Structure 1
Amino acid sequence: MVNANKVETEDEYIHVRFRDPDQFDEIRTPEWAEDPAHSVSEGSEVRMGQEEGSDDWQVESVLIKKNVGEDKAKDQAEEIVEKIES
């Protein structure tokens, strides 16, 4: 399981980071990730990154609505990543 390595509150979201965005050549918010994300936390978003020269996409970060609170956001984000990467 991938653990969150940084949790920051920004604007309307709590940004739960799992991997350094600098390691990716491209970062997207794929539509297909909405279902597993929303099944855990309504309104959340998943940002996926692709390393240069790779076909694999990995979760870079998960954005959880700010009203959830940082501790709960971290738990929810880890649950979302577990659903996507398992």
Structure 2
Amino acid sequence: MANRWLRPEVYPLFAAVGAAIGICGFQLVRNICINPEVRVSKEGRAAGVLENYAEGEKYAEHGLRKYLRNKTPEIMPSINSFFADPNRS
């Protein structure tokens, strides 16, 4: 029964599901640890709604977002410009 599921054809499926679970786990840990709107401790929950805009801005504008802000949304820009630019000869 075990070798029915552990065929080599199933490994990419395991990798994709494992990557998805890893991304979900990362996001859950990130939200629990550094999201200003999530409060796990009893003292934090008792504080109510805080208007700490600087902390919220720091959470929303993380390093990856700052890095990708001025980049073009292309996977292979050189190939795209080669086939799409009419001025290239």
Same fold, judged at TM 0.5 (above): no
Of structures 1 and 2, the larger Rg is shown by: 2
The structure that is helix-richer by fraction is 2
The structure that is strand-richer by fraction is 1
TM category, shorter:
under 0.3
Q: Which has the higher contact order (CA 8 A, sep 6+)?
A: 1
The TM-score normalised by the length of structure 2 is 0.23
